[in-house]
Amino acid sequence: MISELHARAETLIAKEFVEGISAAEQEWLRTHLRECARCSESASATQQALRSLRTLSVPLPRELAARTQFRVRLRAQELQVREPRWRLIWAMCGASWVGGAATAPYVWRGLEWIGHRAGLPDLVWKMGFGVWWALPAIVAAAILLMEDGERGAARNTGGAA
């Protein structure tokens, strides 16, 4: 019975700091701590551990904020230059897809005609149609991959991440 009381007190001591306890639990715990030296000691140890943790200070590296602000501004400028270029690429992709959709039946027939004239199997000119349709996306993906590669290389030479 007594060990159950101690166990409850231990649980409540930790719970109070981790997630909070109700007023009734608080009242019970205070009463118990007044009467029990062992649990009172445990509560003090917990408080002491947390006080130590809270007061643990870390020295900041010199000019950390200023150096970071400088890097962030540089990157912001870089993005300002790149973004209009990206918007242009996406606009071109969009226009090319719209144009592609509008002319698809004609391109299909044209490729079919060329395929038959050249004696190519159906699969070949149909694949050609697929490539023609996907070309804008392939170009955009290639540019994206190149830019990512450049950024990755720059990051590897500039920092840990």
Residue ranges that bind other proteins, judged by CB under 8 A: 14, 17-19, 42, 45-46, 48-50, 52-54, 56-61, 64-65, 67-69, 71-73, 75-76, 79, 155, 159-161
Token duo for residue 43: 């509560």
DSSP state of 60: P
Shortest separation between residue 17's beta carbon and other proteins, angstroms: 7
Nearer to other proteins, 61 or 121 (CB): 61
Shortest separation between residue 145's beta carbon and other proteins, angstroms: 17
Nearer to other proteins, 67 or 116 (CB): 67
Shortest separation between residue 99's beta carbon and other proteins, angstroms: 30
Question: How far, in Å, are 40, 62, 71, 79 from residue 67 at the CA level?
Answer: 48, 9, 6, 19
Spatial contact of 36 and 3, defined as CB atoms under 8 Å apart: no
Shortest separation between residue 19's beta carbon and other proteins, angstroms: 6
DSSP state of 61: P
Alpha-helical (H) ranges within 36-63 are: 37-55
